[in-house]
Amino acid sequence: MKTIKIQYLLRKLNDELESLEYITVAEPKIDKSQKFAWGYRYVCEVYFSETKKNFPYYGINPVDTLLGASEFAKIHCQILLRNGYIIGEVESKEPWKLEKLGDNFLQEKINKLKDNPNISQEEKQKILEIIKDSFGGKESPIKDKIRDLI
């Protein structure tokens, strides 16, 4: 299986200690565990080394799945920034230029999913449960916010 690996230095603001972290996004593959009226879903595994967890990202075709998984990785980095971390380039240690998230970015993403006319209500509930299970756990920095929004 092919993967995309993104390495970065992670450091808490006002702290000298930094760690080498990475994100991997696996190649999209067909998830044959469930078949929907429109066909099978695709899934990308997204792994974050600092949490040591894999997160599945689902889509209806390989391109959208990969695009969504990369957006998910970007949001993860933005959440780290919001929580007081600095993310930097491995060799030069220059900080990455990432836009800071607004206060309602999670609400916008959840609403976009809830309002999607291409996904049935049953499928939306399943996706929201996956999100809640994946990001609402005790290790997640956004667990309370996710549980409130869903």
pLDDT tens digits for range 33-81? 877 776 788 889 999 998 898 988 888 889 988 988 888 888 888 888 8
Q: At what angle do helices 62-82 and 105-114 cross, to 10 degrees?
A: 160
pLDDT at 139 (0 to 100): 56
Contact yes or no for 76/59 (Cβ under 8 A)? no
Domain end position, chosen among 98, 116, 141: 98
Same domain for 66 and 140, yes or no, is: no
For the chain, the average pLDDT equals 82
Same domain for 67 and 16, yes or no, is: yes
Same domain for 70 and 118, yes or no, is: no
Same domain for 78 and 61, yes or no, is: yes
Domain end position, chosen among 98, 118, 141: 98
Look up residue 62 and give its amino acid: P
Contact yes or no for 30/5 (Cβ under 8 A)? no
pLDDT tens digits for range 50-60? 889 898 888 88
- Spatial separation of the C-alpha atoms in residues 124 and 130, rounded to whole Å: 10
Same domain for 63 and 114, yes or no, is: no
pLDDT at 140 (0 to 100): 57
pLDDT at 1 (0 to 100): 60
Contact yes or no for 36/123 (Cβ under 8 A)? yes
Q: Among 6-15, 107-116, 130-139, which stretch is predicted with the lowest mean pLDDT?
A: 130-139
Which structural domain, as residue segments, surrounds residue 114? 102-150
Same domain for 4 and 70, yes or no, is: yes
Average pLDDT over residues 131-142: 60
Same domain for 88 and 146, yes or no, is: no
Same domain for 62 and 136, yes or no, is: no
Same domain for 94 and 109, yes or no, is: no
At residue 122, the 3 state secondary structure works out as helix
The torsion angles phi and psi of 48, rounded to 5 degrees, stand at: -115, 120
Same domain for 106 and 65, yes or no, is: no
